[in-house]
Amino acid sequence: MPNTENAGRLFVVSGPSGSGKSTLCREAVKRTDAQLSISATTRLRGKNEIDGKDYFFLAEKDFLQKVDEGEFLEHARVFGNYYGTPAQAVRQQLDQGRNVVLEIDVQGAAQVFASRPNAVGILVLSPDSEELKRRLTHRGRDSTDVIEKRLQKAQQEVEQAQADGHYKHTIVNDKLETAIQELVALFNE
């Protein structure tokens, strides 16, 4: 039986593609004792990404088998690829008293909040839609078509996050250092 008295806290950080949530999470984790959960995905590995450090890269059939076996705390299909959070690793960290950060989309977060209503929801936003488009374009990862889809989905994600009531904190990522400090303060509460 897990020791819930000394259990860590679960933080769910969400935001549209290009909001800067990955950068904020990585930097805030470096400055705190929180652990960033490593997600599994079926998308292709980027040239500088390391399996088991950035993501667990899985073939689609292997991912879906893990879904069937209940091995994910949450999972979702996003822009044609599957993403999921391995449940056992999160439980182990929490049971050891460590704070765990899930950097996941709003769709997956809804699954987490359903099973872990005490999770702390943090929504990361860019200052405005023009800045979001600039960030997505300058990343150089997506075609113009995919960028447009991401922009359309961004508005839907923000509306869903604001409507569900689980995101008690919002960070507008306008000035990077200020946004990092805000996230650090939440992790240290």
152-168 confidence digits (pLDDT tens): 888 888 888 888 889 99
Q: Span 54-66, mean pLDDT?
A: 96
How does the average pLDDT of the chain come out, rounded? 91
User: Is 113 within the bounds of a domain?
Assistant: yes
Distances (CA, A) of 112 to 3, 32, 132, 136: 20, 23, 26, 27
Helices 176-188 and 21-30: crossing angle, nearest 10°? 60
pLDDT of residue 116: 94
Residue 61, Cβ neighbours under 10 Å: how many?
8
What CATH number should be reported for the domain holding residue 50?
3.40.50.300
What global pTM score does this model have? Answer: 0.86
CB within 8 Å of 16: residues ≥ 6 apart: 125, 126, 132, 150, 153, 154, 157, 158
The two three-digit tokens of residue 32, written as one number: 């705190």
Q: What is the number of structural domains in the chain? A: 1
β pairing state of 10-14 and 56-57: unpaired
User: Is 68 within the bounds of a domain?
Assistant: yes
Residue 20, Cβ neighbours under 10 Å: how many?
23
Least confident of 23-32, 68-77, 149-158, 162-171: 149-158
User: Is 133 within the bounds of a domain?
Assistant: yes
The domain of 127 spans 10-188
Gap between the Cα atoms of 4 and 185, Å rounded: 23
User: Is 134 within the bounds of a domain?
Assistant: yes
Q: Is the pLDDT of residue 185 over 90?
A: yes
User: Is 4 within the bounds of a domain?
Assistant: no
Confidence category of residue 3, pLDDT binned at 50, 70, 90: very low
User: Is 5 within the bounds of a domain?
Assistant: no
Comparing 14 with 131, the larger pLDDT belongs to 14
User: Is 76 within the bounds of a domain?
Assistant: yes
